[in-house]
Amino acid sequence: MSISLRTNIVHHAIMKDEALVQFKLLLPAALKKRLETHASLNRRSLSQEIVVALEEKHPAAEPDAKSDPAARMLFWLAKRIRRRNPKPGTARYKQAALYERIANDIADRMNDIGIE
């Protein structure tokens, strides 16, 4: 299968929120160098380091008070974990991120079926 056919399939497929999307990013050279330094210190790739930095700066939004109780509970658990400031990449950090993703998925599915 050619690259163009695979690209076409990706563009026409319905993508989930957690699907990885590739795009070009222009950075100042000094910033890229700092990110590469932090990535090597944290034993991550440059992409992973950028994702972690963006996740810290822009955390997932919490559902409103009308949302599903399960989503609220998962966000509450994630908030409790994050209060202890786990280091990015640790099991606790990943657990909090997982709780947030599941809570967002529940809230989105409830909105899709018309329950708020």
Q: Per-block average pLDDT, block size 10, for the chain (116 residues)? A: 48 54 90 93 89 80 66 89 86 90 86 72
Judge whether 39 and 48 are in contact, CB under 8 Å: yes
pLDDT confidence of residue 29: 95
The pLDDT assigned to 70 comes to 85
Model's pTM, two decimal places?
A: 0.46
Which tokens hold the place of 68? 């599903």
Q: What is the pLDDT of residue 11?
A: 46
pLDDT of residue 95: 92
Q: Are 116 and 71 in contact, with CB atoms under 8 Å apart?
A: no
Contacts of 20 (CB under 8 A, 6+ apart): none
The whole-number pLDDT of residue 106 equals 86
Q: Are 76 and 111 in contact (CB under 8 A)?
A: no
